[in-house]
Structure 1
Amino acid sequence: MIDTSVRRWLPTWIGGRRTPQPFRATSSRVSRLAARYDAEVDAALQRLWPKARIYHDREFTRDRADFLLVVRGRGVMIETKVKSDPGLFRGSTLPPLLDRLQRDGRRLVVLVNQGDPAPARDLISTKLGDRGRIVVWSGPHHDQELHQAVEALLHQTTRHA
């Protein structure tokens, strides 16, 4: 029987690389933060739009938003992003999603838990124009900003090409 520790070290003996342990710990920590953030966002959407239909895409993909919020028959995509530090949010993972939504003519609100979203705001504006918003949302004290962003998109009267 092969010991699991031997299987773990075997790739390094034959020239392969191992992922450093601190990176794996950080990655799983961020995953837990993202899952908790998604649950908090889901609760906020239910609290702010109690009669809305909320669909949560639980599969990880870069070209689909995490949530679809349907209010009064109109949909807004919601993408959540979790940062582990309060620095700039550049939106480097957003282009596949923005490209797809640009083709589909859909509306998008990106929620980031912390940081300065100015660089990502420029990216979203370039790709989606007035059909995209970004909001720093870290809890109920930011509900007003979330509500305003979604309602502004819901009130757009025309579907953009």
Structure 2
Amino acid sequence: MIDTTLYRWLRPLLGRRRRGRRTPETFRPRGTSSRVSRLATRYDAEVDLALQRLWPKARVYHDREFTRDRADFLLVVRGRGVMIETKVKSDPGLFRGSTLPPLLDRLQRDGRRLVVLLNQGDPTPARELVAAKLGDKARVIVWSGPIDDPILLEAVESLLHQSSRHA
């Protein structure tokens, strides 16, 4: 009997590679390139930890399916929800937000709040796009780690306060 894990380990060394994909699509990191996919997967995990750290009693829902018209996270704090969309750039240039319109259209219809988290770069063009669609119901911020937690906290809390029924 052959140990399949040993066989899988030896297969690349022996030169016998299977053609086609080796992992199911559901386990494959999302994104457009492998480098960006790895960065996006790591960034989503860091954002998840930050949300749990900043709002320990909140509920955090993850959207595991890749779609352009749904946000990556839903953060529910004190009965109020804020959608969190993460965007990863591999270079520190401008972030124009070209992938945001389907999500913005849906949130505009639903009346939801949105925070777009960018790992690096200049979000000015994206801020203009988001402001044109959602107005003051959305924020675009650069969050690169725990050092930027106060910015994330302020953005989400301002939206939660805004969505409050009481003045």
**Structure 2 length as normaliser, TM-score?**
0.79
Instruction: Provide the aligned C-alpha RMSD in A.
Output: 1.8
Match runs of 1:85-104 below 5 Å = 85-104=91-110
Task: Map Cα deviations across residues 34-78 of structure 1 (whole Å, 9 max, x no partner).
Answer: 000000000000000000000010111000000000000000000
Q: Distance in 1 between matches of 2:120 and 2:135?
A: 23
Specify every segment of 5 or more residues in structure 2 that has no aligned partner in the other structure, as ranges. Answer: 1-15, 21-31
Number of residue pairs matched by the alignment: 139
3-state DSSP of counterpart to 1:155: helix
3-state DSSP of counterpart to 2:99: coil
8 Å contact 2:80–2:163 — kept in the other structure? no
Q: Distance in 2 between matches of 1:68 and 1:4?
A: 41
Alpha-carbon shift at residue 4 of structure 1 (Å): 7.4
- Aligned equivalent of 1:13: none
- Aligned equivalent of 2:79: 73
Match runs of 1:1-161 below 5 Å = 27-157=33-163
Q: Distance in 1 between matches of 2:91 and 2:58?
A: 32
Partner letter of residue 85 of structure 2? E
Alpha-carbon shift at residue 158 of structure 1 (Å): 5.8
Alpha-carbon shift at residue 135 of structure 1 (Å): 0.7
**Structure 1 length as normaliser, TM-score?**
0.82
Alpha-carbon shift at residue 29 of structure 1 (Å): 1.1
Identity of aligned residues (%): 81
Partner letter of residue 149 of structure 1? A
Task: Map Cα deviations across residues 85-143 of structure 1 (whole Å, 9 max, x no partner).
Answer: 00000000000000000000000000000000000000000000000001100000000
Specify every segment of 5 or more residues in structure 1 that has no aligned partner in the other structure, as ranges. Answer: 9-25
